[in-house]
Amino acid sequence: MTAQKAKDLLLKLHNGSAYETVAGLRSKTLRFNAETVDITDSESAGRWRELLGGAGIQRASLTASGIFKDAASDETVRAAFFAGALVSAEIVIPGFGTLTGPFQFTSLEYSGQHNGELQFDVALESGGAISFGALS
């Protein structure tokens, strides 16, 4: 993968008919984690740890911060957070592809200085299987 513009890492939420980009995001971080399952016992060769392949839990999380560009984006994020329900999200990774699946908003924060713009921070956690689609 060659160098890509960070602004092209997009968070899109399904609005009932299509995926719509959450406007105003300035920074985004996407993380993938896979837990390990340790099966080491007293007979493990040389006392080296042994892992059970494919047994751990996988998850994806996304954190983002920015400013709301319009009332629709603000309402979409706020409603999803307070509903506590899973939302269908699409994360576009430039030069790589898209991840699509259920996510839950786990954090919503507002902040700002008296002489600046209102900012927000959100965190999302995957809530089911995530599918990957390569860029065409």
| Domain span at 111 | 6-33+59-134
pLDDT in tens, 60-104: 999 999 988 788 888 888 999 999 999 999 999 888 889 999 999
Cα angle value 5/99/67 (rounded, 5°): 50
Domain of 95, CATH number, reads 2.30.110.20
Distance of CA 126 to the CA centre of its chain: 7
Specify the number of domains making up the chain: 1
The confidence score (pLDDT) of residue 5 equals: 61
The confidence score (pLDDT) of residue 129 equals: 94
Burial 17-54 (b: 16+ CB within 10 A, else e): eebbebbbbeebeeeeeeeeeeeeeeeeeeeeeeeeee
Specify if 27 maps to a domain: yes
Find the largest Cα–Cα distance for the chain.
65
Specify if 24 maps to a domain: yes
The confidence score (pLDDT) of residue 53 equals: 92
Specify if 38 maps to a domain: no
